[in-house]
Amino acid sequence: MNLIPSIRNAARAVIIRQGRILLLRKDGGGRGERYALPGGAQDPGESLSEALDRECVEEIGTRVEVGDLIYVAEFFKQRDTQPPSSRHLVEFIFRCSVPEDYAPRNGHRPDKHQVAVVWADFAGLTRMPLFPRYLTDCLTEAPDPARPLYLGTFADHANPEKH
């Protein structure tokens, strides 16, 4: 694996309202349509909460109230480089909320390949192409205090396996 030498922290928001979850809809980049949680990389000097709030303003056009940390996962994301490379991410997934009057919309600086922000039926998540794929399992199961917070390490490829 051609690994980029630095590790990036990323903060992600799980925003659920009335049986629906807020997701970024992405298309392009050779991956087809897929859905992802809002959020992104932590900048030097930022707390995870500050990074998540900033990323949500950029991607979904609103500030978020950052709640409890519910999961941590390591992820090796394939990059569109020549030669192909991967980026090692440590993802911190938080329960968050948006203002009551929030309507889904792209923010002023949407994520790469982001085409929309949508409320998706939480019950239909198992049938959606979530990215990264490990999200399908952790989001469709209610957080359980007996379940470990750390999910493990995952790779981004056609046949994802836990490392």
Model confidence pLDDT, tens digit, residues 125-136: 899 999 998 888
pLDDT for the residue 45: 94
DSSP state string for 42-97: PPTT--HHHHHHHHHHHHHSS--EEEEEEEEEEEEEEES-SS-EEEEEEEEEEEEE
Q: Is the CB of residue 131 less than 8 Å from the CB of residue 36?
A: yes
Over range 48-57, report the average pLDDT: 97
Task: State residue 49's pLDDT score.
Answer: 95
Q: What residues does 11 pair with on adjacent strands? A: 40, 92
Dist. CA 5–CA 92, nearest whole Å: 20
Distance in angstroms (rounded) separating the CA atoms of residues 143 and 104: 25
pTM for this model (two decimals): 0.85
| Distance in angstroms (rounded) separating the CA atoms of residues 9 and 16 | 23
pLDDT at position 163: 42
The secondary structure of residue 110, as a DSSP letter, is P
Confidence of residue 146 (pLDDT cuts 50, 70, 90): low
1: pLDDT strictly greater than 90: no
Q: What is the pLDDT of residue 158?
A: 42
Q: 97 or 158, which is more confident?
A: 97
Cβ contact 113:27 at 8 Å: yes
pLDDT bucket at 153, cuts 50 / 70 / 90:
confident
Residue 128 vs residue 138, higher pLDDT? 128
Return the pLDDT at 160: 41
Token pair recorded at residue 106: 């792209």
